[in-house]
Amino acid sequence: MSFIYDIVVVGAGPGGIASVVEAEKAGITNTLVIDKADTHSDMITKFYKKGKRVDKDWQGKKFEFIGNVRFEECSREEFIDQMEDLIQDEDIADKFLYNQEIYGVQKNEDGLFELDTHNHGTIKAKNVIVSIGRMGKPNKPGYKFPGPIRPVLNYNLSKVKEGEKVMVVGGGDTAGEYAYGLVDLGMNCEVTLNYRRAEIGRMNPINKETTEKYLEEGKLINKLGTDVESVEPSPVEGQVQPQVKVNFTDGTSEVYDRVVFALGGTSPKDFLNNSNIEMNEWGEPLYNEDTMATNIEGLYTIGDVNTSAGSIALAFNHAFQAVGDIVERNK
């Protein structure tokens, strides 16, 4: 008979890490966490700017920790270190399996779940916690990205280089943080913020205030109130990589070294579909708010995959609730 885990967690972000820690605390040690990236906390590594403060009460919402996993407000780097320390302290590093993208979870007639991996065969589990976030598939604009400029049309700041002229597109918290964050990084970048509405309405109070202040002070170039109509290559003499010519709906055009789109992310609908998890009209899973249980017994969704108003503290709390339910069901 092949090996059967008590709990397999998909996703090694805050929710996934907290799930395996909560399981340990509850005496369930036969667990595995699978992530498509080559390390834990990959979304935070990729999408948070360097040195970003990691807030407990994210997006103006107050959170109380209800489980065993918590964190101190700190920088992005310190947060990742805190997670690494937690993994070492709990002695659970060997429970993480990286570089394996999972496309769905199947429950068989024998009541066991099966997860197919690239090079570790089919993994079997009694319970599965899905903590895959929602940043896997960033929202893309409707217009075409011509081939030559694709390398400089990005969804996060990781590729931005010293001294570049960058336009950030979007009106939410991530767009604000990218825009003023890039100014603060001291990389001598000229940063423009573009949003189709003339007013910023969708940011939390801190981000709104900071973004508006930077726009007023001219630290950020204001391109609010007009949408991007199309993007095209703008060749530069002696340079292989063309710049991006952006054509706006107000008839103006401007050339940038790079454009960063922060248009939000969508719930990974395909994964939920492949796993037969029932969803609402926005492609978010339907789950029990007390237990995190989906329509399939033994299958749980936690953290950002459940809600666009997610946070680290919420993902930690969801992990506690899901593991608590697994413990209850096995009594």
| Contacting positions for ligand FAD (CB under 6 A) | 10-16, 34-37, 42-44, 47-48, 54-55, 58, 101-102, 131-133, 135-136, 174, 177, 268, 271, 303-304, 310-313, 315
For residue 227, the minimal CB distance to ligand FAD (Å) is 22
For residue 93, the minimal CB distance to ligand FAD (Å) is 15
Please name which of 274, 305, 323, 7 lies closest in space to residue 131, comparing C-alpha atoms. 305
SS3 letters across 188-223? CCEEEEEECCCCCCCCCHHHHHHHHHHHHCCCCEEE
What tokens were used for 274? 């492949």
Which C-beta is closer to ligand FAD: that of 11 or that of 67?
11
**123 SS3 class:** strand
Cα 309 to chain center, whole Å?
12
CA atoms within 13 A on the CB side of 71: 31
Which C-beta is closer to ligand FAD: that of 253 or that of 273?
273
Contacts of 27 (CB under 8 A, 6+ apart): none
For residue 256, the minimal CB distance to ligand FAD (Å) is 21
Q: How many CB atoms lie within 10 A of CB 256?
A: 23
Which C-beta is closer to ligand FAD: that of 255 or that of 296?
296
The answer to whether 104 touches 114, Cβ cutoff 8 Å, is: no
Which C-beta is closer to ligand FAD: that of 242 or that of 284?
284
For residue 243, the minimal CB distance to ligand FAD (Å) is 26
Which C-beta is closer to ligand FAD: that of 43 or that of 149?
43
For residue 295, the minimal CB distance to ligand FAD (Å) is 20
Which C-beta is closer to ligand FAD: that of 149 or that of 302?
302
Which C-beta is closer to ligand FAD: that of 226 or that of 274?
274
**DSSP-assigned beta bridge partners for residue 247:** 230, 253
Nearest-angstrom CA–CA distance, 7 and 10:
10
The answer to whether 60 touches 124, Cβ cutoff 8 Å, is: no
The answer to whether 100 touches 120, Cβ cutoff 8 Å, is: yes
For residue 16, the minimal CB distance to ligand FAD (Å) is 6
Nearest-angstrom CA–CA distance, 64 and 67:
9
Which C-beta is closer to ligand FAD: that of 242 or that of 300?
300
Nearest-angstrom CA–CA distance, 306 and 46:
21
For residue 120, the minimal CB distance to ligand FAD (Å) is 12
For residue 288, the minimal CB distance to ligand FAD (Å) is 17
